[in-house]
Chains A and B, each alone.
Chain A
Amino acid sequence: MASRKFLTITAASTLLACLACTAVAQDKESVMKMREQTMKTMGGAMQATGKFVKNEGGTVDDVKAAAARLTEAASKDIASLFPAGSTGGESRAKPEIWTSWDVFAKQWADLKPAAAKLTEAAASGDRQQIAAAMGGVGKACGTCHDQFRAPKQ
Chain B
Amino acid sequence: MGHRSLILAITLVPVALAASGPSAVAAETPPADAVRRGEYVFNAAGCLGCHTDEKGGGAPLAGGRGLATPFGTFHTPNITPDPTHGIGRWTEAQFVKAFREGEGPGGTHLFPAFPYASYTRMTDADLKDLRAYLMTRPASAQANRPHDLDPPFGWRFLLPVWKALYLDEGPLPDDPSKPAEWNRGRYLVEALGHCGECHTPRDWMGGMDQDRRFAGSSEGPEGDKIPNITPEPKAGIGGWSVGDIASFLEIGMTPDGDFVGSGMGEVIRNSTSKLTPEDRRAIAVYLKSVPAVK
Q: Is the beta-carbon distance between B10 and A55 smaller than 8 angstroms? A: no
- Residue B225, interface by CB 8 Å: yes
Q: Mark B237-268, 1 if CB is under 8 A from A, else 0.
A: 00000010001000111011111111111100
Write the chain A residue with the least CB distance to B217: A153
Q: Is the beta-carbon distance between B6 and A127 smaller than 8 angstroms? A: yes
List A contacts of B263 (CB < 8 A). Answer: 151
> Which one of B11, B220, B227, B257 contacts A135 once the chains associate, using CB atoms below 8 Å?
B11
Q: Is the beta-carbon distance between B9 and A138 smaller than 8 angstroms? A: no
Give the interface size class of chain A. Answer: 35 or more
Residue of A44, A149, A150, A152 with most partner-chain B CB within 10 A: A152
- Residue A37, interface by CB 8 Å: no
Give min CB distance, A146 to chain B, whole Å. 3
Write the chain B residue with the least CB distance to A48: B257
**Contact A46 B3, CB 8 Å, known A145-B261, A152-B227, A153-B218:** no
Q: Is the beta-carbon distance between B262 and A138 smaller than 8 angstroms? A: no
Q: Is the beta-carbon distance between B257 and A45 smaller than 8 angstroms? A: yes
Write the chain A residue with the least CB distance to B7: A54
Q: Is the beta-carbon distance between B1 and A127 smaller than 8 angstroms? A: yes
List B contacts of A131 (CB < 8 A). Answer: 6-7, 9-10
Write the chain A residue with the least CB distance to B235: A153
Q: Is the beta-carbon distance between A146 and B225 smaller than 8 angstroms? A: no
List A contacts of B259 (CB < 8 A). Answer: 46, 138, 141-142, 145
Write the chain B residue with the least CB distance to A45: B257
> Which one of B9, B220, B258, B264 contacts A132 once the chains associate, using CB atoms below 8 Å?
B9
- Residue A80, interface by CB 8 Å: no
- Residue B12, interface by CB 8 Å: yes
> Which one of A42, A47, A55 contacts B6 once the chains associate, using CB atoms below 8 Å?
A55
- Residue A147, interface by CB 8 Å: yes
List B contacts of A135 (CB < 8 A). Answer: 9-12, 251
> Which one of A40, A53, A152 contacts B10 once the chains associate, using CB atoms below 8 Å?
A53
Give min CB distance, A100 to chain B, whole Å. 13
List A contacts of B260 (CB < 8 A). Answer: 142, 145, 151
Q: Is the beta-carbon distance between B12 and A43 smaller than 8 angstroms? A: no
Residue of A42, A149, A151 with most partner-chain B CB within 10 A: A151
Q: Mark B102-144, 1 if CB is under 8 A from A, else 0.
A: 0000000000000000000000000000000000000000000
List B contacts of A53 (CB < 8 A). Answer: 6-7, 10
- Residue A116, interface by CB 8 Å: no
B184-204 residues with Cβ-Cβ distance < 8 A to A are: none
Give A152 to B251 CA distance when docked, in angstroms.
18
Give A132 to B262 CA distance when docked, in angstroms.
23
Q: Is the beta-carbon distance between A138 and B227 smaller than 8 angstroms? A: no
**Contact A128 B265, CB 8 Å, known A46-B253, A138-B251:** no
- Residue B33, interface by CB 8 Å: no
Q: Is the beta-carbon distance between A142 and B261 smaller than 8 angstroms? A: yes
Give A53 to B8 CA distance when docked, in angstroms.
11
Q: Is the beta-carbon distance between A50 and B225 smaller than 8 angstroms? A: no
**Contact A54 B252, CB 8 Å, known A151-B225, A153-B227:** no
Write the chain B residue with the least CB distance to A66: B257
- Residue B208, interface by CB 8 Å: no
Give min CB distance, B242 to chain A, whole Å. 13
Residue of B9, B220, B259, B260 with most partner-chain A CB within 10 A: B259
- Residue A81, interface by CB 8 Å: no
Give min CB distance, A138 to chain B, whole Å. 5
Give the 6 A-B residue pairs with the shortest CB-CB distance, closest first: A145-B261, A47-B257, A146-B261, A43-B257, A46-B257, A135-B10
- The contact sample of 25 A-B pairs, CB cut-off 8 A, is A40-B256, A43-B256, A43-B258, A44-B256, A46-B257, A50-B257, A54-B6, A54-B7, A55-B6, A132-B9, A135-B10, A135-B251, A138-B259, A141-B258, A142-B252, A143-B261, A145-B265, A146-B265, A146-B266, A151-B224, A151-B226, A151-B260, A151-B264, A152-B225, A152-B227
Beyond A146-B265, A151-B264, 20 extra complex contacts between A and B, CB < 8 Å: A46-B258, A47-B255, A54-B3, A54-B6, A54-B243, A55-B6, A131-B6, A132-B9, A135-B11, A139-B12, A142-B260, A144-B261, A145-B260, A145-B265, A146-B261, A150-B225, A151-B220, A151-B261, A153-B218, A153-B227
